[in-house]
Amino acid sequence: MIQRKQSIFLGVIMICSILLFIFPTVTYTAGDIVVDYAFSPFDVHSSTTSTIYGLFAANCLLFITSFMCLMLFHNRKKQIKISRVVMLVAAMMITLLFVFPLYKSDTAVRTFNWPIALPAISIVCAFLAGHFIKKDEELVRSANRVR
């Protein structure tokens, strides 16, 4: 059933993933050189926008797994497992953005833009979706015992 609470959370994850395709997440400034890094290989903003192909693939995986989780409403056990995979992928994206420097310069200043919060929102939404899927599974099990 698509009208459940976890469907809203999975939809928010997909919207966050789409927004990550559009807006640059990290900006490096080295003197008069400004480089924006986006998750999309399509040059959306300017000629100074670079792509992180690993994060692009992770973002595609995030979108696809959240969509799969949304469509597997008949199999709640698989939904719970896939929601955990969604949390793992979003955590991996955050780790890659914060830990690894993308621009190789000693004088570059790294500035995080507002879309950096979108993977964190995805983690929270995936946790809440998993929680509500688990509650639905418990409700179905208790209803089966009553019969």
Reported as a single tens digit per residue, the pLDDT across 111-124 is: 888 988 999 999 99
Whole-number pLDDT of residue 49: 57
- The CA distances from residue 83 to 19, 70, 112, 132, 134, in Å, are 20, 9, 27, 11, 11
Residue 101 lies in a domain: yes
Give mean pLDDT, residues 68-92.
89
Q: For residue range 14-69, list pLDDT tens digits in order.
A: 999 999 888 888 887 877 877 777 777 665 555 555 667 778 888 899 999 999 98
Cα 23 off chain centre by: 14
> How many other C-beta atoms can be found within 10 angstroms of the C-beta atom of residue 106?
5
Q: Does residue 147 fall inside a structural domain?
A: no
48-56: list long-range contacts, CB under 8 Å, 24+ apart: 49/24, 50/102, 52/96, 52/102, 54/96, 55/93, 55/96, 55/97
pLDDT of residue 26: 81
The residue segments making up the domain with residue 125 are 5-141
User: Residue range 8-14: average pLDDT?
Assistant: 92
Q: What is the pLDDT of residue 126?
A: 92
Take residue 51 and report the two structure tokens written for it.
């792509």
31 within a domain of the structure (yes/no): yes
Residue 88 lies in a domain: yes
Q: What is the pLDDT of residue 85?
A: 92
- Look at residue 26 and tell me if it is in a domain: yes
Q: For residues 10 and 129, what is the distance between their CA atoms, to the nearest angstrom?
A: 7
Please report whether residue 146 resides in a domain: no
Backbone angles phi, psi at 101, to 5 degrees: -70, 135
Q: Which two structure tokens, joined as six digits, stand for 21?
A: 């395709």
Flag whether 21 is in a domain. Answer: yes
- Name which of 117, 55, 128 is nearest 87 in CA terms: 128
Residue 77 amino acid letter: K
- Please report which confidence band the pLDDT of residue 140 belongs to, taking 50, 70 and 90 as the band edges: confident
pLDDT band of residue 125 (cuts 50, 70, 90) is very high
Burial of 37 (0-12, 13-18, 19+ CB in 10 A): buried
Q: What total number of domains does the chain contain? A: 1
Asked whether residue 30 is assigned to any structural domain, the reply reads yes
